[in-house]
Structure 1
Amino acid sequence: MTDLSHPIFARLYPRLDAGCAKAGGDACRAELLAGASGRVVEVGAGYGANFPHYPPEVTEVVAVEPEPRLRAKAAHAARSAPVPVTVRPGLAEDLDLDDASFDVAVASLVLCSVRDPIRALAELRRVLKPGGELRYYEHVRGDTPGKVRFQRYADLLWPFFAAGCHVTRPTGEWIAGSGFTVRGERRFEFPEPSRANPASPHVLGTAVRD
């Protein structure tokens, strides 16, 4: 199975993300991809929000997206991308891609939603060349007991309305324990104000395949 259908989310997400982009999300995406080069695989590419931010040193992007409506939007966005982008169906946990065939892997607001994030990270490691980079921008479990408690309550319903997204995942810790060495990482709250938003804790970083 390479398709996961979330028709309501697929219609709403581009509009919601447009608001986040104006609030600083575009700057985060640009930071995520700054300095990337060579052949790139992006999992959970959504509607292609990252495509305009790829630098010219990137020779090719293979963008994998399981939601058919978002994938169609991504294919449209790929036509105006500054680098060559191929959009294809697929799951992060089961990539139909060769071993050690990419210089960079990109996970952007997706590891919160995949059914098996540990397996997805193993797949990303598999398709990366030794020394290849994992660029990640994710919302994650909070740093304070109060925030984590709030997130746990939110997670009882949040995944049903947000296409399987979970707000309590310690994604940064999982990356560090999945055969990657974290080279740089920063945690931050986004967007502000964040107190009432269970998805506000974020992490943005670069890790290298061991």
Structure 2
Amino acid sequence: MISSWRAADVRQWHGRGMEQFHHPRPACLGHGSSLRPTEERRLLTEGLSGTVLEIGAGDGVKFACYPNTVQEIAVAETESFLLDTVRLNCEQGPVPVYRVAGDVTRLPVPDGAFDAVVCSLILCTAPDLGQSLAEVKRALKPGGEMRFYEHVRSANPLAAAAESLVTPLWSQVCGGCHPARDTLTAIETAGFVVDHVSRFSVLAVSHVLGAARKTA
């Protein structure tokens, strides 16, 4: 999908970037002229258009991976130093990016402001997942899309039990991450209609990547 992704702009940015600091997955692969979005980042943003809110800044490089059909991106982040990093990394980016100082439980945006909301390895850190998904839904226009790329509780009962067991300590040392969350079920419970979802493993950890829609 390089035709809708401005590789020349990305080469002006700093390195390959990362999705989130508490989950340091690369946003891009390759080097120099061969730099390209990871498959997860490409699928996460493929086909988006209009106005988009992404929750969680990472180091800002991932915002260069949006297709040029997106007109404007807002990024919600609580850490001021990350917002400063986004500002520096987005000055020459392909899509205008502006910052809002807020987290997923309190998004300082108007109701129905966005065509899409993107959540990438961030819902595991939400203090209240139900409230966070309600905020995502509030921020979307009727029929708007929620795109998600999240790690989820294992389908293996023993692995899931181990994830629950380590959660108290893990969440303290890994930015509030809750490894045993059933995030996909929570998305459906929040009233979203899941259009499509892929399940896969990264380093033996279960993940989901897909799209869900806010009904009118």
Residue aligning to 2:21:
13
Letter in 1 for 2:47: G
Aligned equivalent of 1:9: none
Cα distance in 2 for partners of 1:158, 1:25 equals 29
- 1:66–1:89: 8 Å Cα contact kept in structure 2? yes
TM-score of the aligned structures, taking structure 1 as reference length: 0.84
Runs of 4+ deviating beyond 6 Å: none
Shift of 1:70: 2.1
Of stretches 67-76 and 113-122 in structure 1, the one that deviates more from structure 2 is 67-76
Check if 1:117 corresponds to 2:114.
no
Aligned residues: 191
- Tell me how far apart the structure 2 counterparts of residues 14 and 155 of structure 1 sit (CA, whole Å): 15
Following superposition of structure 1 onto structure 2, how do residues 2-81 of structure 1 map, counting pairs within 5 Å? 13=21, 16-18=24-26, 22=29, 26-81=38-93
Match of 2:164 among 136, 152, 165: 152
Residues 125, 16 of structure 1: CA spacing in aligned structure 2 closer, same or farther, 3 A cutoff?
closer
2:3 matched residue in structure 1: none
User: Does the CA-based 8 Å contact 2:22-2:175 persist in structure 1?
Assistant: no
Q: Does the CA-based 8 Å contact 1:78-1:87 persist in structure 2?
A: no
**Alpha carbons 2:115, 2:144 under 8 Å: kept:** yes
Q: How far apart in 2 are the matches of 1:96 and 1:120?
A: 12
CA deviations over 1:51-88 (Å, ceiling 9, x no partner): 12110000000101112222222222222321111122
> In the alignment, what sits opposite 1:207?
212
- Residues 136-147 of structure 1: pairs in structure 2 closer than 5 A: 136-147=148-159
> Structure 2 vs 1, CA of residues 157 and 21 (structure 1 numbering), >3 Å: closer, same or farther?
farther
1:49 Cα deviation after fit: 4.3
**For residue 182 of structure 1, what is the aligned residue in structure 2?**
194
Change (3 A) 1:15 1:139: closer
Quote the sequence identity (%).
36
Q: Give distance in 1, aligned partners of 2:38 and 2:88.
A: 19
SS across alignment from 1:13: coil
What's the Cα RMSD here? 2.2
* Alpha-carbon distance change, 16 to 102 in structure 1, aligned in 2, over 3 angstroms: closer
Gaps (5+ residues) in structure 2? 1-19, 31-35
